[in-house]
Amino acid sequence: MTTTATRFDGRLLTPGDAGYDTARTVWNAMVDRRPRMIVRAAGVPDVVAAVRLARELDLEIGVRCGGHNVAGFAVPDGGLMIDLTLMGGVRIDPVRRRARVQGGALLGALDRASQAYGLATTAGNVSHTGVGGLTLGGGMGWLARQYGLACDNVVSYTMVTAEGDVVTASRSENPDLFWGLRGGGGNFGVVTEFEFQLHRVGTRTLVAEFDFRAEDAVPVIEGWRDLNAVAPRQATFTADVGSGPAGPIATLGFVWVGDPDEGRRLLPAMRALGRPVASRVTTPSYLELQRRDDSIGGHAYRRYSKAHYLRSFPTAAIEAFLLRGAADLSASQDLPGVGLQAHGGAIADVPEADAAFGHRGTMFEFGAGCRWSDPAEDDARMGAARAAGASLEPYASGVYVNSLTADELADGQPGVRRAYPAAKLARLTAVKTAYDPANVFHLNQNILPAS
């Protein structure tokens, strides 16, 4: 299809075309923007042509992989969306243990292709997330404590620059760009292929969950926190607080990737923490584990969240975690769900200077999130999530760049400064200035080029 003098092997969609509304619909139903055109790229030449066309027409560029970013950066109102979802291929080399993954692939595609050989790499917790967005921001997952973040497992990137050039970044080729792409987000160009290192992980896992009444949970969480500090790397400790029929419930446990019998050795220590009101120990396959948090209702929900990194988790923080921003535990059931996921292990093994991703000394990542359907509830729901986030802010040491919301990226971009320590932000600014001095790619957690 053509527009002006541009020809695409994929599809060019404009308002009113069949498929246009589907293509502009992303995971957060609060995002309802209308691009002037959507290029559904069939390959790298389409991406090059789309970037050049957008610059010719002076249109903002949004890039869609999985469309999971809560701020909806992929959808530029009146701009040009580069939709990579047709570029979803995954190729596995089981001998070299490498995966070549196109920029529009979803995590589930990578998992399925890799698990056919008993292999995997760190890849999020939700199978319909895009590989690209997750990896460019860092990429936490159930294998991270064993093998590092998703970005730590990238061997090379293929990227289309703001000038429409195609470049490769690795430790030996354009190493400055390689450094920046490992946690610096979509600031430098459109990544059309990732090459990942894979690991022999087998196909078996174990998930342990223990439910406690929130009013009884402070000493239990203290013990769970201390147990996490000495847990094997195969275990990723998790905690959640949500509303139950009889009051708030705190669910504590861990996810183990590997031989379930080895994971069961942790169960006596978990059970010694207290008497739960319910417990569950299951042994899903790795593919089942990777799908267990897939959202029901797909793209129908409105969503909002707040997040922090925590280097420690003192008793006062535990109490705030249980309250979820409320004054007491008897508050309404309309509070957001809150959760913790353990870091450490191989994540912390990587030297801080090795990649743009920062805060490798994190103990837990905290998140407060909610989803709803009625737009009339927007203010109340977002206010509740903000209150829950604010209650943990005194204990925070930074934030995961992929968790930043639009309001944290306005007014001087305080969120970007929370995501990157000053020295890293300065180096990221230098990479941005070298590869995108006009800030063509700014619909993201934007790093400004030097003026």
pLDDT at 5 (0 to 100) = 60
What pLDDT does residue 246 have? 86
User: Does residue 233 share a domain with residue 218?
Assistant: yes
Contact 371, 302 (CB under 8 A): yes
Q: How many domains does the chain have?
A: 3
Is the domain of 153 the same as that of 270?
A: no
Please indicate, yes or no, whether residues 271 and 354 belong to a single structural domain of this protein.
yes
Size of the chain in residues: 451
- pLDDT-flagged residues of the chain (< 50): 1-3
Single out the residue in 68, 83, 98 at which a domain terminates. 83
Q: Give yes or no: residues 273 and 348 share one domain.
A: yes
DSSP assignment of 136-150: HH----TTHHHH--G
Q: Are residues 246 and 381 in the same domain?
A: yes
Does residue 380 sit in the same domain as residue 401? yes
Is 418 inside any structural domain?
no
pLDDT in the model for residue 146:
98
Let me know if residue 447 belongs to a domain.
no
127 is in which domain, residue-wise?
90-201
The token pair that represents 130 in the structure block: 């895009």
Question: Is 95 domain-assigned?
Answer: yes
Tell how strand 337-342 and strand 199-200 pair up.
unpaired
- Whether residue 149 sits in one domain with residue 47: no
Residues 364 and 244 in one domain: yes
Q: Is residue 446 part of a domain?
A: no
Return the CATH number at 401.
3.40.462.20
177 and 217 share one domain:
no
**Position 50 in a domain:** yes
Task: Tell whether 247 and 376 lie within a shared domain.
Answer: yes
Which region, left, alpha or beta, applies to residue 46 given φ > 0 means left and ψ of -120 to 50 means alpha?
A: alpha
Domain boundary among 83, 112, 129: 83
Domain termination site, one of 62, 83, 104: 83
Q: Is 431 part of any domain?
A: no
246 and 334 belong to one structural domain: yes
Q: Would residue 21 count as lying in a domain?
A: yes
- For CA atoms 19, 24, 30, 32, give the dihedral sign: negative
Expressed in angstroms, the distance from the first to the final Cα of the chain is: 38
Query: Over the range 174-184, which residues count as b (16 or more CB within 10 Å of their CB) and which as e?
Result: beebbbbbbbb
Asked if residues 182 and 123 have their Cβ atoms less than 8 Å apart, the reply is no
User: Which amino acid is present at 265?
Assistant: R
Same domain, yes or no: 24 and 97? no
Q: Please indicate, yes or no, if residue 358 is contained in any of the structural domains.
A: yes
Q: What is the pTM of this model?
A: 0.95
Tell me the C-alpha distance between 198 and 93, whole Å: 9
Q: Is 132 helix (H, G, I), strand (E, B) or coil?
A: helix
Residues near 410 by beta carbon (within 8 Å), at least 6 away in sequence: none
- Is the Cβ–Cβ distance between 144 and 236 less than 8 Å? yes
> What is the Cβ-side half-sphere exposure of residue 53, based on CA atoms within 13 angstroms?
22
CB neighbour burial string for 364-402, b if at least 16 within 10 angstroms, e if fewer: bbbbbbbbbeeeeeeeebbebbbbbbebbeebbebbbbb
Matching residue, tokens 């921001």: 137
Nearest 5°: the CA angle 254, 348, 73 is: 80
**CATH at residue 37:** 3.30.43.10
d(Cα 51, Cα 186) in Å, to the nearest integer? 14
What is the DSSP code (8-state) at residue 355?
S
Under a CB-based contact definition with an 8 Å cutoff, are residues 44 and 160 in contact?
yes
Give burial (CB, 10 Å; 0-12/13-18/19+) of 275: exposed
CATH of the domain at 146: 3.30.465.10
* Pairwise CA distance, residues 430 & 450, whole Å: 7
Whose tokens are 């997040």? That residue is 307
